[in-house]
């Protein structure tokens, strides 16, 4: 079986049918997607333990994101829950949300609210006896300053496997129609709230 030739036989007639059903303006609108379901938020981590102990009397960390930046100062002995609450109290000013890491409970995850390649999270520690900022939940050496960037998914990649193929085509066809309220909608690759010809053409146009 020639998988490449089989894919071409599937794609060509489907694209012709879909294109015939759309106006030229609509065709242009689906050549690319501003955002995708596979976009990833930026994230980095702060080592806090259950309490900030043994890092000096005062720890100050400037946290920033798409919305701006804000400084946070914590005294020795501050509980992790209070660190998280303080950072989340400024989420509107920074665009960054904090939560305890599911992988490593001794670290706080800082994550950009918005996903995609333009998303970022920055942290700069300006006081404390040793650095507490990490690039991941369970790896990497601590640093004093770090900027993490989000990632943009591939247009048409419904299953987020890094390529566009028959699996994505099947997902779009299998979830055709309006997306259920407040539920995931795997075939909606252009995030419009409905799975239709525009999603189908995004898959076809970015095949491979």
Q: What is the pLDDT of residues 137-169, one digit of tens each?
A: 998 899 999 999 999 998 889 988 989 999 989
pLDDT tens readout for residues 17-33: 545 544 444 445 445 55
Sheet containing 133-134: order of strands: 96-100, 107-115, 41-47, 133-134
Provide CB contacts within 8 A for 102, sequence distance 6+: 137
Q: Is the pTM of this model over 0.85?
A: no
**Token reading at 133:** 């900022």
CATH fold of 10-37+154-205 reads Type 1 dockerin domain (1.10.1330)
What pLDDT tens digit does each residue of the chain (208 aa) get? 455 555 555 555 555 554 554 444 444 544 555 678 889 999 999 999 998 987 788 999 999 999 999 999 999 999 999 999 999 999 999 999 999 999 999 999 999 999 999 999 999 999 999 999 999 999 889 999 999 999 999 888 998 898 999 998 999 999 999 998 877 788 998 888 999 989 888 888 889 8
CB 81 within 8 A of CB 51: no
**CA–centroid distance for 147 within its chain:** 15
**Domain ranges for the chain:** 10-37+154-205, 41-149
């Amino acid at each position: 079986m020639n998988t490449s030739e089989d894919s071409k036989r599937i794609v060509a007639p489907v694209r012709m049918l879909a294109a015939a059903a759309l106006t030229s303006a609509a065709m242009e609108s689906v050549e690319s997607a501003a955002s995708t379901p596979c976009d990833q938020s930026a994230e980095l981590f702060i080592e806090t333990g259950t309490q900030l102990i043994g890092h000096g009397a005062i720890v100050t960390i400037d946290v920033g994101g798409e919305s701006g930046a804000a400084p946070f100062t914590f005294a020795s002995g501050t509980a992790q829950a209070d660190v998280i609450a303080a950072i989340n109290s400024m989420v509107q000013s920074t665009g960054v949300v904090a939560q305890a890491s599911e992988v490593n409970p001794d670290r706080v995850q800082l994550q950009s609210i918005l996903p995609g390649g333009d998303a970022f999270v920055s942290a700069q520690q300006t006081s404390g006896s040793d650095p507490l900022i990490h690039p991941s939940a369970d790896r990497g050496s601590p640093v004093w300053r770090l900027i993490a960037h989000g990632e943009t998914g591939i247009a048409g990649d419904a299953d987020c496997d890094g390529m566009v193929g028959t699996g994505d085509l099947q997902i779009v066809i299998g979830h055709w129609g309006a997306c259920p309220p407040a539920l995931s909608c795997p075939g909606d690759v252009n995030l419009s709230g409905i799975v239709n010809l525009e999603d189908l053409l995004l898959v076809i146009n970015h095949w491979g």
